[in-house]
Amino acid sequence: MDKILIRGGKRLSGTIPVSGAKNAALTLIPCALLTEEPVTLRNLPRLADIDSFQHLMTQFGVSVSIPGRRPEDFGRVVTLEATRLTSTVAPYDLVRKMRASILVLGPLLARAGEAKVSLPGGCAIGNRPIDLHLKALEALGAEIELASGFVRASAPDGGLPGGEFDFPVVSVGATENAIMAATLTNGTSRLFNAAREPEIVDLCNLLVSMGAEIEGIGTSELTIHGVKRLHGTTHMVMPDRIEAGSYACAAAITGGEVRLEGAREEDMGATIHALRNAGIHVECDKKGMHVAAGGKLIGVNLSTAPFPGFATDMQAQMMALLARAEGTSVLTETIFENRYMHVPELNRMGANIETTGRTAIVHGVTSMTGAPVMATDLRASMSLVIAGLAAEGETEVNRLYHLDRGYERLEEKLALLGADIERVGAD
């Protein structure tokens, strides 16, 4: 198994492009199930999760076409065409690889009137039940049954009638599944306390370009008027706000200065606010974001929250940065109950972090030392890379399959900025 070796102490400087958003792409791909016409996605990141999801789509009879691109290019163009669905079953051996597979449930149900989807897998960052997905679909008129590790969903004869659902807590995935299912209902559906993440706005924009009728995009109250059919379209995947924030942390911990081409200020308000509070200069324009750190890093207090709050997917990266800040920082994780698995690994590198329940207390240190470390989940992996960029000596990051799920050609981008980093095969 491959590993990444980082020899720390290099100041990052330069310009890199921000890839298409993984979290958006994984909800845009299943939209192809809602129409028999081609759906083309541009700027789709080259990631293991994207490849796995495309493979899952072929299970339903979807053709996946990828025009020839130079291998050195970031991103790709992919056309998905579901002219005829040959199956409505998502088997365990495909779904177990990633949690986002549950997002085929709504589109299959809406178009075919039935779906059988294995209960999903993914990162081990806490209990992430799918009950809100199922309750939202039931509110739209679906019949749901759980049996033998599968979700079986069916619509009444003639299709889903539509309905109303008030999410008791904000759920991004459940909101996405409900939106997709509601587009082809026979009536009007209303979703209250819906998630407002930029990736959901991107999903709605794609669906509208396919002929869906959605009101309230970007708000917590969505009204979706069902239509008889959707048509094909071409859509540019939004830039990855988590990737951009991650590279901003990488630049800052090395005292560097980078330009993140394509980063969007409107998607990253809470992250930008946190970076500025930590003493980092952040400037945004229509084409991207400029990040510069030359002075002292300052400890800050952060609490994760649904958008527009501070994203849980940025918590680990900010923790790595704050491990080198002056003073004490307090981080509170409100979304997932088991998302501090990177703390022991950071402490192995010389960080001074204590955890109690959902709270982490980060006592800033003046230096850290490279060490062999083990990635435990996607964002935790990136926190170890960030720490390694500033650590003295060599850091060895193992279990790269986590990183490959969410960061497009990570070592190449960091090398472009001057990092001493390489991917090597295991001994």
Question: What pLDDT, in 10s, does the model give residues 162-171?
Answer: 999 999 999 9
Is 131 annotated to bind a ligand? Reply is yes
pLDDT above 50 for 424: yes
pLDDT in tens, 214-265: 999 999 999 999 999 999 999 999 999 999 999 999 999 999 999 999 999 9
How high is the pLDDT of residue 375? Answer: 86
pLDDT above 70 for 144: yes
What's the average model confidence in pLDDT over 125-148? 84
Mean pLDDT of the chain: 94
CA distance readout (Å), 301 to 90, 258, 275, 278, 322: 42, 25, 11, 10, 10
The DSSP H or E segment spanning 410 is helix 410-416
Delimit the domains of the chain by residue range.
3-18+239-424, 22-236
Is 4 annotated to bind a ligand? Reply is no
Question: Which one of 288-292, 336-340, 371-375 scores highest in mean pLDDT?
Answer: 288-292
How high is the pLDDT of residue 122? Answer: 45
Is 22 annotated to bind a ligand? Reply is yes
Is 128 annotated to bind a ligand? Reply is yes
CB 183 within 8 Å of CB 34? yes
Cβ partners under 8 Å of residue 141, min gap 6: 155, 156, 160, 161, 162, 163, 185
CB 291 within 8 Å of CB 284? no
Per DSSP, the three-state class of 355 is strand
How high is the pLDDT of residue 109? Answer: 97
Per DSSP, the three-state class of 108 is helix
CB 306 within 8 Å of CB 195? yes
How high is the pLDDT of residue 68? Answer: 62
The CATH number, out of the four listed (3.65.10.10, 3.10.520.10, 1.10.10.10, 3.20.20.70), of the domain defined by the range 22-236: 3.65.10.10
The DSSP H or E segment spanning 244 is helix 241-253
- Give the rounded percent of residues in the chain with a pLDDT score beyond 90: 84
The pTM assigned to this predicted structure is 0.95
pLDDT in tens, 71-100: 556 789 999 999 999 999 999 888 877 778
Is 33 annotated to bind a ligand? Reply is no
How high is the pLDDT of residue 426? Answer: 64
Quote the distance between the C-alpha of residue 44 and its chain's center: 13
What's the average model confidence in pLDDT over 271-277? 98
> Would you please indicate which residues are annotated as catalytic (active-site) residues?
123
Rounded Cα gap, residues 105 and 114, in angstroms: 9
Q: φ, ψ for residue 53 (rounded to 5)? A: -70, -40
How high is the pLDDT of residue 338? Answer: 73
For 3-18+239-424, CATH number? 3.65.10.10
Is 423 annotated to bind a ligand? Reply is no
pLDDT above 50 for 355: yes
pLDDT above 80 for 133: yes
Least confident of 69-73, 135-139, 349-353, 387-391: 69-73
Quote the distance between the C-alpha of residue 127 and its chain's center: 17
- The pair of structure tokens assigned to 85 is 């669905």
pLDDT above 90 for 41: yes
Please name the residue ranges forming H helices in 68-224.
Answer: 92-95, 105-112, 131-139, 172-182, 198-209
Is 80 annotated to bind a ligand? Reply is no
